[in-house]
Structure 1
Amino acid sequence: MTSTLPTWPIPTPEPPPETPGWLFEDPASRALHEIIEQIAPSDAGVLIEGDSGTEKELVARHIHTTSLRRAYPFVAVNCGAFSESLVDAELYGHENGAFAGAFGSQPGWLETAHRGTLFLDEIEALPLQAQAKLIRTLQEGTVSRLGSRQRLPADVRILAATHDDLAQRVQQGLFRKDLYYHVNVVSLVMLPLQSRPGDILPLARHFIRQYCKRLHYAPAELSAGAERRLLAHSWPGHVRELENVIYRTLLLSRGLRIQADDLRLPAASDTPVTPPVSPVPSPDIKATYRAQEKPDTEISLARDTATFPGNDIDPAGSPISLEQVLEQLCQTCSHDLEQRVLDTLLLKAWHHNHYSQVQTAQQLGISRHVVRARLVRLQQLAPGRNRLTDTGPDAPPLHLPPDRTVTS
């Protein structure tokens, strides 16, 4: 007797919703939208890359709502929030008593997203063992809950997002190559808000309408000065920062016309201009640091960084300027020492942040996994540790400066 997989009722597909025009006003965003319209009807895996706050999940939802799976669930999960011991229970579900604390039967996210779309945010955080199981599940199209032998259908389309360099993680053996190619059939790069200024004012007006309705306010509008102030701001927090600025402005301002000072943003003329220390143009720290390493370059570094150029900058002094550090290093080093410069920048930031990997990653705008991998390669950390900082009694010597303590 052959067993059959349970089936679900097939709902009538709904017509695709209208494109949110406020999202795709800038020419770069319109070009991205054209690509989305081309790939949405397929089942191809899509990797959405970009910094935190660039609305990667919003793009994933738009792909789903314009796809043939729009009548079925869209399930968004953050892989970085999974406990390594419970990641299988989250993805595949469990039966009663499958493990300690498993009370009752619970479907997993793959089962919940059957015939729909599963959005895996921060996919780089998945452990290697979970990556191997996930690729097999996607190939077979079935799942089995923990504590059960029954196979359940899991026909899902995978959309993944990352703020890390997955290709580099594949080279480092931290991400499976087969899963990388499965989720990266098409790659979409979310540009920072500053790089698509045509979206700033439409987004601001959208958030004004949204929060005025939520707060039961009369409709407000932006003055010409407020529009200029919004366009002049650099928006390091991207769309999320813009949304918070509009929300705060509506809460604290009075009147139906938002003035420039109501935004509480620094005026362009008030921003101090620091003259360059060298003719070398100031590069983008994040883009420079994420540049792919030369495979044939072998760098040997002293742990105390005493022989590194730019070591005259005191990490315990005034707030460190990464641009100035990098410019001084680039002025001293030749192009062949690029990787040494990047390693030095990492160590400077690590020392300045009191040897905290999390704070170092936040300051450099990269993943903590990249920080840890480089520190291991530089013999600052022992491989195989899972803690945020290696400060235990068995940790390797760090050669700390005098009167410095390690804090997480």
Structure 2
Amino acid sequence: MNLVVGATPHSHWHRLQPLLAHAGLHSPDETPLQHWQQQIAAGKNARTAHAELLAACRQPAVIDMSESPDQLREWLAVDEEIQLLLFYASPEREIAAAMREGHTPAAALEAWLSLTEALLSLYRQHRQRVILIAVAEAANSPNLFLNTLSTHTKLNVGPWGGPVEPLAPVEQDTATLMAAYHLIADANISALCDELEACSIPVTEPRAHVQLDHNLIWGRAQAQLQEHQDTLQALEASEQRLAASHQEHQGTLQELEASEQRLAASHQEHQGTLQALEACEQRLAEVSPPPHQAGAAAGDETELLLQQLYDAQAEIERCHREHRHTLGQELSAVQNELQRYQSDYHEAARQLRRMTQERDALRSSVSWRITAPLRWILRPIMGASGH
């Protein structure tokens, strides 16, 4: 008697391997398994590859095909003595575990439906050679599970005296709430769950289904949703502050450019005045007669005009220096203010980039995708309350 194991992805059936070993079932070594995988990948006839793997195993054998569910039907054709041992966990646990790994609720539900229907199809067509068992029940009642193996196979199994690692309690989180919601909302899924339970071999006393604390899960979901909304509001406020700061910096830059233009115009004006004074001085020098030809009165008048010209030139130069010094101080103050605004602008830009990354990470997180139906449900409520 050889058993081939099939299982749903999150059933954790490997916790039962000590029980299977206690029943005298041997797992194949790594080398025959690798050889079998290479043959299947190379397109070799599946039945031939299966038969070679079975021949390489110690008898009786238990062969793990939980990662190759499409090969289960082929195994039944290899040997009439082969039986399928199919394990599964509760649908809430399976779907919630897939969602925690990043799958959407729809994708997790579709994968569970596809594999569950395949397992049930095998059971319907080969009832005498298929054993369908819930992992949680087998882990909680190991001796009843071993008795079931003895009853449905030709194995002679003695009592089990060691512990079996039980499945962890169902987590009271948003993923579990969403999984339960999808299972309850669809009548076809409920009927499929009922058929799965009806086809399973009971290995424990009937027990009540796990009761989920919906109020606790709902409160956690609302708190998580509120946290997401607060983060988004903080991002929007930061973007508004950055836009206002950018507008203010634009005004400061415009003022600085205007000050530079005024300074350049003033400098150009002073250069023109100096050039005019120099030209005037040259003309006076040209029209002034030599000392031996001019009279004393003419000489005194010329000296007076030259002195007035020098005084005017000195006054213009003083005014130019003072004006340039004043403009330089204004320009320095504007430049310092601009540097401060630029520093504030760069800091605000860094904060915006960080918060934008946090927002993108938030919107791509598992919890954001999981709470999408909750946000859709709460949107009219939150809108009515003014949030």
TM-score (norm 1): 0.27
Point out the structure with max Rg over C-alpha.
2
| Larger RCO, structures 1/2 (Cα 8 Å, 6+ apart) | 2
